[in-house]
Chain A
């Protein structure tokens, strides 16, 4: 029997871990001669104080929901997909090809096919490491790391040698046509009489990310496939004994994972940049790891963690603007969150176990 009750496992442990990460972040901020409370105030103001701040926070959160879900789905099958970054890069290539090659009449149809293109390219990039893991036993962590680098090089080659418009010095594709520009939150909320900042990148992809959260929840906890994925993740030998094919689950979980990472491109490539540039993901693929760990691989947790990291990204940008704290402070905070929630979670769990054991001891008496 688990010593720590389930409610504590999903609330207390992440919250204490987050607090520890916040305390260490505050120590770093004090060490470089700034006031952490003032920093927090600037971050909250910058991320939530205006519809402009909200627009950026939600834009980042959309990216992180996709990559967080991507990591979470594979993690349920005990597969450590560190390749979200490469899969999201390739997804960008898929979305860009869809947007550039076909003269779409309307953004709705374009978005539908861009989603297919992005997800297919992302899934393809996850398929090779998945197959190598399932069939040849190659460690998926190492192969997905390698595929991140290979993916970056493929994108680099495509942009510099193939997709760059003639006469352009900039390694990027041409701008997408006006018809495939996605409506922003400003466009969507205006008919309801809500004035939302015009100059933010948050767009209709946010709703697709929210839908993805719900669909992943249904998949993992309400379908036979989801059950098989979780069973395989808990015990491979028990799953095999129950007639679940390890090869099949590894492939399917990784294809879904890569597809979700690839889907992110509808937000950053189609929604924000409206063309494909070098390094379009800016580390969002890696951040998915932090988001999924923080959210305990549950879609609702991923949603909350994505908002939290959206806040950190937008607030951190404001911080660099108003104080001497550089933008890289976000990466430090991100590292601390991953460390405390992912690797040092037993450090929080062990004392909690002792407390709960002591409490239970009293009840019995």
Chain B
């Protein structure tokens, strides 16, 4: 494996880790506020469909992004309604949202475009184009550092850079602002937050809405940047890998980035090599596909450090009567 191959694999790692990281941060906000969300997958999927459809019709990828985020927030609001207002089972609501998105995307796409449940291919202004960082051309020939800058760091769409900037942003919001403190508190001990006179319902709806926006961007990235258009079930389990990454990172933002990069790397390797020949034995592609899930189970089992979820996660808050 030569230097350029490694650069290429790492390059696709960044591209594949981006949607995972967006969905992972989405789950981070929701779960730190005490709302379990196994519907990340569904929210990404519906955003992918609406962003591609609107981007195709209007020719503007930004309007597509807006539509995608709006559709994802609508599903998030449904999740909020079920789990906050009506104090329903958050897991069941998540399952329902995943199915709702899986069905609705195909029903709507088929009704609008009659292409068997996908959208037409996007091109030009209907897609996020790669951004060439300054001097990328000029330094490309510098040995070692040149390719790293020109090939690896340059040439991604704007969403990729925004996503990685969101990691310190999220850290700052959660650990350095009043809103973040209250958000964490509402996920650990909502009664205390209520006693302090802060609205538990309001905070949780805010967290669920942020989760919807981030999932929406993740879905729009899939359909308008990573690929050119929506196809049926295009999220392909990414919402669940993001959930796994969140647990793997033990509900913290910086480790979330590293675990998404790790799972992105696994996807990049699986994409490039069908069966990885390590000389002694061959790793089948299926093993690479399941490694994120297996690692998560091991972390959950507590054999390698314990993953402790927010204490009030999954429990509806009932005011004292």
Verify that A and B bind, or say they do not: yes
A interface residues with partner B (beta carbon < 8 Å): 28, 31-33, 80, 82, 128, 132, 136-139, 141-143, 145-147, 149-150, 153-154, 156-157, 160-161, 286, 289, 293, 324-326, 328-336, 338-339, 342-347, 350
Apart from A331-B102, A339-B96, A347-B86, what are 9 other A-B pairs with CB-CB below 8 Å?
A138-B297, A142-B244, A146-B244, A335-B102, A339-B78, A339-B92, A342-B89, A343-B90, A350-B86
Which chain A residue has the least Cβ–Cβ distance from B98?
A335
Q: Which residues of A contact B289 (CB under 8 A)?
A: 149, 153
Q: Are B95 and A344 closer than 8 Å at their CB atoms?
A: no
Q: Which of B83, B100, B111, B243 contacts A336 (CB 8 A)?
A: B100
Q: Are B106 and A328 closer than 8 Å at their CB atoms?
A: yes
Q: Are B93 and A146 closer than 8 Å at their CB atoms?
A: no
Q: Which of A143, A150, A338 contacts B95 (CB 8 A)?
A: A338
Q: Which residues of B contact A141 (CB under 8 A)?
A: 36, 38, 91
**Among B83, B289, B296, B297: residue with most chain A CB under 10 A:** B297
Q: Which residues of A contact B301 (CB under 8 A)?
A: 132, 136, 138
Q: Does B293 count as interface, using CB distance less than 8 angstroms?
A: yes
Q: Are A32 and B82 closer than 8 Å at their CB atoms?
A: no
Q: Does B110 count as interface, using CB distance less than 8 angstroms?
A: yes
Q: Which residues of B contact A332 (CB under 8 A)?
A: 99-100, 103-104, 107
CA distance A149 to B288 in the complex (A): 12
Q: Which residues of A contact B111 (CB under 8 A)?
A: 31-33, 324
Q: Are A142 and B103 closer than 8 Å at their CB atoms?
A: no
Q: Which residues of A contact B293 (CB under 8 A)?
A: 146-147, 149-150
Q: Which residues of B contact A293 (CB under 8 A)?
A: 92
Q: Which of A82, A142, A331, A333 contacts B243 (CB 8 A)?
A: A142
Q: Which of B82, B100, B286 contacts A153 (CB 8 A)?
A: B286
**17 sampled A-B residue pairs with Cβ under 8 A:** A149-B240, A149-B293, A153-B289, A157-B286, A160-B286, A161-B284, A286-B95, A286-B99, A326-B110, A331-B99, A334-B99, A335-B98, A339-B100, A342-B95, A343-B88, A343-B92, A345-B86
Which chain B residue has the least Cβ–Cβ distance from A157?
B286
Q: Are B286 and A338 closer than 8 Å at their CB atoms?
A: no
Q: Does B294 count as interface, using CB distance less than 8 angstroms?
A: yes
Which chain B residue has the least Cβ–Cβ distance from A334?
B99
Q: Are A345 and B88 closer than 8 Å at their CB atoms?
A: yes
**Among B78, B90, B106, B309: residue with most chain A CB under 10 A:** B106
Q: Which residues of A contact B100 (CB under 8 A)?
A: 332, 335-336, 339
Q: Which residues of A contact B98 (CB under 8 A)?
A: 335
CA distance A91 to B117 in the complex (A): 31
Q: Which of B99, B284, B309 contacts A335 (CB 8 A)?
A: B99
Q: Which residues of B contact A136 (CB under 8 A)?
A: 300-302
Q: Which of B82, B110, B117, B309 contacts A343 (CB 8 A)?
A: B82
Measured CB to CB, the closest approach of chain B to A352, in angstroms, equals 13
Q: Which residues of A contact B309 (CB under 8 A)?
A: 139
CA distance A342 to B100 in the complex (A): 14
Q: Are A32 and B107 closer than 8 Å at their CB atoms?
A: yes
CA distance A329 to B287 in the complex (A): 34
Q: Are A326 and B107 closer than 8 Å at their CB atoms?
A: yes
Measured CB to CB, the closest approach of chain B to A151, in angstroms, equals 9
Q: Are B104 and A146 closer than 8 Å at their CB atoms?
A: no
Q: Which residues of B contact A289 (CB under 8 A)?
A: 92, 95
CA distance A328 to B237 in the complex (A): 18
Q: Are B88 and A149 closer than 8 Å at their CB atoms?
A: no
Measured CB to CB, the closest approach of chain A to B292, in angstroms, equals 8
Measured CB to CB, the closest approach of chain A to B226, in angstroms, equals 21
Q: Does B181 count as interface, using CB distance less than 8 angstroms?
A: no
Q: Does B209 count as interface, using CB distance less than 8 angstroms?
A: no
CA distance A178 to B26 in the complex (A): 53
Q: Which 4 A-B pairs have the closest CB atoms?
A: A331-B103, A335-B99, A332-B103, A343-B93
Q: Are A149 and B290 closer than 8 Å at their CB atoms?
A: yes
Measured CB to CB, the closest approach of chain A to B319, in angstroms, equals 15
Measured CB to CB, the closest approach of chain A to B95, in angstroms, equals 6
